[in-house]
Amino acid sequence: MKTLRVDLADRSYPIFIGEGLLDNSELLLPHIKGGSVLVVTNATVSPLYLDKVTSHLSGLKYSVIELPDGEEYKNLDTLNSIYTHLLEHRLDRNTTLIALGGGVVGDITGYAAASYQRGVNFIQIPTTVLSQVDSSVGGKTAVNHPLGKNMIGAFHQPQCVIADISTLSTLPRRELSAGIAEVIKYGILGDREFFVWLEENIEDLMALNADKLVYAIQRSCQNKADIVAQDEKESGQRALLNLGHTYGHAIETKMGYGEWLHGEAVGAGMVMAAELSEACGWITVDDLQRITKLIQRGELPVAPPGDMTADDFVANMSRDKKVLDGVLRLVLIKSIGEAVVTSDYPKDKLLACLPS
């Protein structure tokens, strides 16, 4: 088992990464605050891993709410069902919420915890690659709105993150690829050495090699933890973590949540960001080809949906959270291993790199 720490003073917390961690009550129980627990999971994960988690909760007052599975359910209606459960069971401020599932479960549970009675504790138990390397770490919580992804949310840090790679054995291939997109992201935006390692090991990751999975998840989480420790609420450097996401969120919003998986949209979005970066003369054609090839080897799309137009992208990107005072900032690439958040790019080149 590997243990990392997100350093946020009195809100610091550990990330546990390894195999068979759901069998270890000593990782979970010390981080439960109070005597009541609500486990939030979904219809896919529940039959696989719920019993492992609840077996550690004897002696505590606990209940379970099972959400429908899918990005299309990451909305205010589903969030309200969690509030209703909390209220009906008279759960108070000493309740701990446990998010058992992928990024949707983690995001919506985290936001419920952030807002219920103005904030209760929660624990992340991510069960997908995407959630283990990205969404469970850093305290971003949110739900989607029909007009924009993750536009309603809060920063709320978990008590701990338990990333058991054993859960990845049941992950559909498409979900595995979606998570690999976020792994590749860390190499592009700030860790060139990791990018090279991924070029050498991507097939082993896709084959679920345990040692290499632990290494990739650990390295990704360390990259994110270092950035979050410096910029918890995305006032500066943390925005780098949105590489590919402005394009990707536009795809998800236009296509309908769940049609493209988040990681698939980010994969295509990172290629689009790389294409604009190359058009601006910041990266070489060789760099663009290396990025595109690695994303392809992760079995991800490298182009947006064929029926999306430049107008579709402009309309949806204009509502992105990185728009400040009407100016769209993008995460672009200076070189493999170095990204920048900037509005200083030729607008004609942005339009030229969008689909016609």
The catalytic position among 140, 219, 254, 321 is 140
Mutual angle of helices 192-206 and 285-297, in 10-degree steps: 30
319 is catalytic: no
Residues 160 and 198 in one domain: no
Predicted local confidence at residue 234, as pLDDT = 82
192 is catalytic: no
The catalytic position among 242, 275, 278, 316 is 242
121 is catalytic: no
Residues 84 and 198 in one domain: no
* Alpha-carbon gap, residue 350 to 1, rounded angstroms: 44
The structural domain count of the chain equals 2
140 is catalytic: yes
CB contact set of 84 (below 8 Å; sequence gap of 6+)? none
11 is catalytic: no
Predicted local confidence at residue 327, as pLDDT = 80
Residues 183 and 303 in one domain: yes
191 CB burial (10 A radius; 0-12, 13-18, 19+): buried
118 is catalytic: yes
Residues 13 and 115 in one domain: yes
Residues 245 and 329 in one domain: yes
Last residue of a domain, one of 113, 147, 168: 168
Predicted local confidence at residue 321, as pLDDT = 66
Residues 303 and 345 in one domain: yes
Three-state DSSP class for residue 23: helix
199 is catalytic: no
The catalytic position among 71, 232, 234, 278 is 234
Mutual angle of helices 245-255 and 262-279, in 10-degree steps: 130
The catalytic position among 175, 182, 252, 278 is 182
Predicted local confidence at residue 231, as pLDDT = 87
The catalytic position among 31, 219, 238, 321 is 238
Residues of the chain with pLDDT under 50: none
Output the domain CATH number for residue 157: 3.40.50.1970
- Residues 279-320: tens digit of each pLDDT: 999 999 999 999 999 999 999 999 999 999 999 999 888 877
Predicted local confidence at residue 319, as pLDDT = 79
The catalytic position among 224, 254, 290, 329 is 224
The catalytic position among 249, 290, 321, 329 is 249
Residues 333 and 200 in one domain: yes
Q: Is the full-model pTM beyond 0.85?
A: yes
The catalytic position among 219, 262, 290, 322 is 262
Predicted local confidence at residue 237, as pLDDT = 87
The catalytic position among 31, 56, 156, 245 is 245
61 is catalytic: no
Last residue of a domain, one of 153, 168, 183: 168
Residues 259 and 304 in one domain: yes
Last residue of a domain, one of 143, 168, 193: 168
Residues 62 and 115 in one domain: yes
234 is catalytic: yes
* Alpha-carbon gap, residue 356 to 353, rounded angstroms: 9
* Alpha-carbon gap, residue 239 to 321, rounded angstroms: 10
Residues 126 and 22 in one domain: yes
* Alpha-carbon gap, residue 140 to 154, rounded angstroms: 6
- Report residue 336 CA to chain centroid gap: 21
The catalytic position among 26, 88, 90, 118 is 118
Q: Which residues constitute the domain of residue 288?
A: 173-352
249 is catalytic: yes
